[in-house]
Amino acid sequence: MKKLLKRLKQDERGLTLVELLAVIVILGIVGVIAFVAIGNVIENSKKDAHISNAQQVISAVELEEATGDTVEYPGESENANAKDLDSVGELTDPWDTDNNGYNFKVGRDDSDEIVISSDHSKCSFPATTKSDLISKGREICNSSEESE
């Protein structure tokens, strides 16, 4: 009987404190990497939403003109907030948790193509055409935070 108990006692296996700490450290490192990766995905999706909103505004202006309405661009008339452009509506800001809206600046370039610009603090870009928005995507966003 003693021999059996002695043999069972020798077969006891478990994890040492060092092994447990090593596992916890590894899980912590994996968690930090995942947290950073998810943060980048969220930021990129917000930039994508901003660019998509700009494309939709251009599409709305094109549709408005296609129906035969005249679109007055700011600066073309005394009214800086042209009525037709206001009808596009205020868009939900992807970065603002209070869901405050923001607006784009829409106009025409020298070749009479519709251009849009954004002065948003998280994603700003100069007067840009719809095709440039499509081809460059979120890369067109210039952030003051990235340049610092």
pLDDT digits (tens, 9 = 90+) for 35-73: 998 988 988 898 898 898 888 888 888 887 788 777 766
Residue 16 lies in a domain: no
Q: Is 74 contained in some domain?
A: yes
| Mean pLDDT of all residues in 5-29 | 83
Q: Could you tell me if residue 93 is inside a domain?
A: yes
The confidence band for 31, taking pLDDT boundaries of 50, 70 and 90, is very high
Task: Name residues whose C-beta falls within 8 Å of residue 109's C-beta, 6 or more positions apart in sequence.
Answer: 115, 127, 129
- Taking the complete model, does pTM exceed 0.75, yes or no? no
With respect to residue 4, please indicate whether it lies within any of the assigned structural domains. no
Count of domains for the chain: 1
